[in-house]
Amino acid sequence: MSDEQKDYDGIQYKADDRMPAIFKLLLAVLLIWGVCFMGYYLFSGWSSEAEFAEKKAAQEKLIAERQQAQQQKQADGSAGAPAAKASAVDAEKLYNDSCLACHGAQGSGGIGPALGAAQPFKYGRTEAELTSSIADGRPNGMPGYKNDLGPDKIKALVDYILSLK
Ligand code: HEC
């Protein structure tokens, strides 16, 4: 039994066997890749702080845009006609519950006169006149709603009527 080739219970250790070429290749490739990898992070100028700052700036811009859109919406809402849209959900339901029976769907008319923008309004179509028509009623069959609906709901209905076409 030589030094180079020992035999342990039938398992042979061959000291002079060379490392398989595939491992050498793997080692070389990994070394090259490692150098490139480190080089990239050292010299490309990339840093996690910069990436974070960039993402943060984009996020803040998005939030600012959303807030601006929100404020725009509120500003539009307080400036007349689009306000009807803002409260349309409530007002339309209110209208359907209290007024539709006589004035038809979306003010198309019935027992009571049609309430579209194209209709002639006997008692006027300004905010004050509409409020008075709804709150106090009108002689030929229009009940007053002062006691049933508060001023907020009457205002919503006025806006709703003004939003009708
Ligand atoms: C019982 C039926 C009836 C109900 C319910 C009713 N109305 Fe009327 N409404 C009338 C009649 C009839 C007139 C016409 C009155 C007149 O000519 O004097 C009228 C008139 C009006 C007018 C005035 C129109 C114009 O030509 O100037 C408005 C505005 C109006 N109604 C809104 C409403 C709203 C809003 C509601 C719901 C809260 C409602 N009405 C519920 C029957 C009704």
pLDDT digits 0-9 by tens, 106-117:
888 988 999 988
Atom of ligand 1 nearest to the CA of 139: 18
Reported confidence tier of residue 1, pLDDT bands at 50, 70, 90: very low
Of 87, 103, 149, 158, which is best to mutate to test ligand 1, by the most ligand atoms within 8 angstroms of its C-beta? 103
How far are the Cα atoms of 30, 72, 88, 108 from residue 162, in angstroms, in the given order?
75, 22, 11, 13
Cβ-based neighbours of 92, under 8 Å, separated by 6 or more? 160
Arithmetic mean of pLDDT, 80-96: 64
pLDDT tens-digit map of 41-75: 888 888 889 999 999 999 999 999 999 999 888 88
In this structure, which residue's CA is closest to atom 5 in ligand 1? 99
Supply 105's token pair: 């769907």
Atom of ligand 1 nearest to the CA of 121: 26
